[in-house]
Amino acid sequence: MRKIIFIFILIVMAGCADKKSANYNQVSKYYEGFKNSNYGQIKSTISDSLTIKEGYYTMPFTPESYYGHFKWDSVFKPVYKVLLLENQDEEVVATVSVSSSRFEFLKNNPLTCKHRFHFKSGRIHKIENLDCGDANWEIWQKERDSLVEWTKSNHPELDGFINDLSMKGALNYLKAIELYKKRPVKAMQ
C-alpha cells in the first residue's frame, strides 16, 4: 500500500513539474515573439481571451484586438529583455526590462517591471503588472503632460494620441515626440 501511495505522489509531483515547465516555456515563447516581432508566436501562447491588469485598470483583449496592441507597441521599437522568470505555484512571474523610444522620451528608459502570468488550459489568459521598481512616475507624468499640452496647442491635428491605442495613435504619438524635440526652446530671462 505504501508503494502505491508513494508512486501516486511521484506521478502527481511529475505532473505539476511538467505544468510549471510548460507555463514557464509559454512565457519565454511570448517574449521571444516580441523580440522577433512575430505576432504569430505571441498569439500561440495566449488564450481566446486575455486580460491585462495594471493597478485598477483592466484591459480585455481577444487575440485579434491584442494584435492591435502589438502593432501600437512596435511603433516605438521596443527591445525586451527577460531578466528573470520564476515559477510561483501555477503562475509565472517575469521580470522584464524594456527600452523604447517612448520610454526614452519619458525619461524612464529602460523600464523594468514584474508581471504575473496566469494560465488557463496551458495558455496565458491574464497578465498582472505588479511593480516597476526603477520607474520614476513623477518624471514620466511631467514629460507626458508637457508633450500633451504642447501638442494640443501647437499641433491640434495630433491631439488625442495619448488615449489612442491604435496604430494611428502610436504614429501620432511618435510624430508628437519628434515635433516636440524640434520645438524652439524659450531662453530663460
| 96 closest CA partner among 111, 77, 107 | 111
Cis peptide preceding 63, ω within 30 of 0: no
- Say whether pLDDT at 3 is over 80: no
How far apart CA 80 and CA 112 sit, in angstroms, is: 10
Mean pLDDT score across all residues of the chain:
88
pLDDT band at 90 (very low <50, low <70, confident <90, very high): confident
3-state SS class at 6:
helix
Q: What is the mean pLDDT of residues 118-147?
A: 95
- pLDDT of the residue at 122: 93
| 113 closest CA partner among 136, 91, 97 | 97
Q: What is the mean pLDDT of residues 5-22?
A: 48
Provide the whole-model pTM. Answer: 0.82
To the question of domain 2-135 being in CATH 3.10.110.10, the answer is no
CB 166 within 8 A of CB 72: yes
- Say whether pLDDT at 163 is over 80: yes
- Say whether pLDDT at 12 is over 50: no
| 73 closest CA partner among 91, 43, 112, 99 | 99
Domain boundaries, the chain: 2-135
- pLDDT of the residue at 188: 54
How far apart CA 45 and CA 26 sit, in angstroms, is: 6
- Say whether pLDDT at 9 is over 50: no
